[in-house]
Structure 1
Amino acid sequence: MSYCNFCKSLPEDNVHRIYHDQFYGHPIEDDQALFERLVLEINQAGLSWDTILKKQEGFKEAYDAFDIEVVAGYGESDFERLLQDARIIRNRLKINAAIYNAQRILELQKEFGSFKNWICEHYPLEKQEWVKLFKKNFKFVGGEIVNEFLQSSGYLPTPHDADCPVHEEIENLKNRFDYGTS
């Protein structure tokens, strides 16, 4: 069953329905929102998306609203604090990846002006090329994580079924989205 069909019958206040209707596949331009999505996708590895959606607000609070500069500056005490925070996934590798990736995004922002610009500089690529690029630049990013990150943030084709009402909405948004290719 596709995610669209799964969400279709859910109540409008269900976390999956909200994510499906308002966020999944919608183009993201804001660096903090892109960083948030990357952290959430990394944390989903090996777990259900339901778990991540239910913990999303906890992640936001624990990671200082995904302020890239703040997270990039986290030290040992922040790392230990996150390991003890039940609102998030308490996995050393995933926490370390969030901090490292924030530091790397700051470097990319200096070079390209923004994380979004860095992505757009390489747009469009095939999935395998994206995976190589992300593995070269970030930690804890395998094929599925990169694929879901790029699909869910609008840089790969919409993951919505063609007959899903959100599909057309996303296609219209993507037609107005600046991928930096013009």
Structure 2
Amino acid sequence: MSGYCDFAPGHPVHASYHATEYGFPQREESALFERLLLEINQAGLSWETILKKRDGFRRAYHDFDVDTVAGYGERDRARLLADPGIIRNRLKVDAAIHNAQVVRGLRDSHGGFAEWLDAHARNDGQTRSKADWVKLFRKTFRFTGGEITGEFLMSLGYLPGAHHEACPVQRKLAKLRPRPMWMRP
């Protein structure tokens, strides 16, 4: 996504996300769930729209607290579908609730969402391909096609491509410890 590196720096909406979040590993469950929820909601829209509505998503989805969202019922669905601060799409709202329930279950099976991602990051000793990730996500989560899964994983450093080689952020990522998953030997 080298084009992002060309226009995001200095942009009033994209600059901070590009410089401090995009491609950076995350471990916190709520941060991972937020990224998944935002990527799902971006489908068919611009990332700028999602970034502008980010605070609305944060409020609507209780700071991306997995347990709270996993417990949402019909009243919460109706509230979300009426909230102009987010994307009001029934399939995306239902996916958020279902995926929160899945993430909650990953605590029992793997210790958490980050641990589940780490457990699947390698396939036969090699970094898992995007195609393999997409198959896994489609089996595990809702509303996670190829673009959504790819962007989610790229945005968290599990897949390469968030920044081009000459981007200062790419050099910053290479100095992180631990480095993004795709940069590890």
* Mapped partners of 1:177, 1:110: distance in 2: 26
For residue 61 of structure 1, report the CA deviation from its aligned partner: 0.4
> Normalising by the residue count of structure 1, what TM-score does the alignment of the two structures yield?
0.93
* 1:4 maps to amino acid: C
Runs of 4+ in 1 over 3 A off after TM superposition: none
For residue 158 of structure 1, report the CA deviation from its aligned partner: 4.3
Q: CA RMSD in A?
A: 1.7
The share of aligned pairs that are identical, in percent, is: 52
1:73 maps to which of 71, 74, 94: 71
Cα gap change, 1:178 to 1:3, in 2 (>3 Å): closer
For residue 69 of structure 1, report the CA deviation from its aligned partner: 0.3
Q: Which residue of 2 aligns with 1:144?
A: 147
1:116 maps to which of 114, 117, 133: 114
Tell me if 1:170 matches 2:170: no
For residue 170 of structure 1, report the CA deviation from its aligned partner: 1.1
For residue 93 of structure 1, report the CA deviation from its aligned partner: 0.2
Q: Which residue of 1 aligns with 2:34?
A: 36
* Mapped partners of 1:54, 1:95: distance in 2: 18
* 1:34 maps to amino acid: L
Cα gap change, 1:95 to 1:171, in 2 (>3 Å): same
Q: Provide Cα deviations, 1:67-107, integer angstroms capped at 9, x if missing partner.
A: 00000000000000000000000000000000000001111
Unmatched runs of 5 consecutive residues or more in structure 1: none
For residue 177 of structure 1, report the CA deviation from its aligned partner: 4.5
Q: Which residue of 1 aligns with 2:131?
A: 128
* 2:101 maps to amino acid: Q
Tell me how many residue pairs correspond in the alignment.
Answer: 177
* Mapped partners of 1:172, 1:143: distance in 2: 29
Q: Which residue of 2 aligns with 1:17?
A: 15
Unmatched runs of 5 consecutive residues or more in structure 2: 123-127
* Mapped partners of 1:154, 1:59: distance in 2: 23
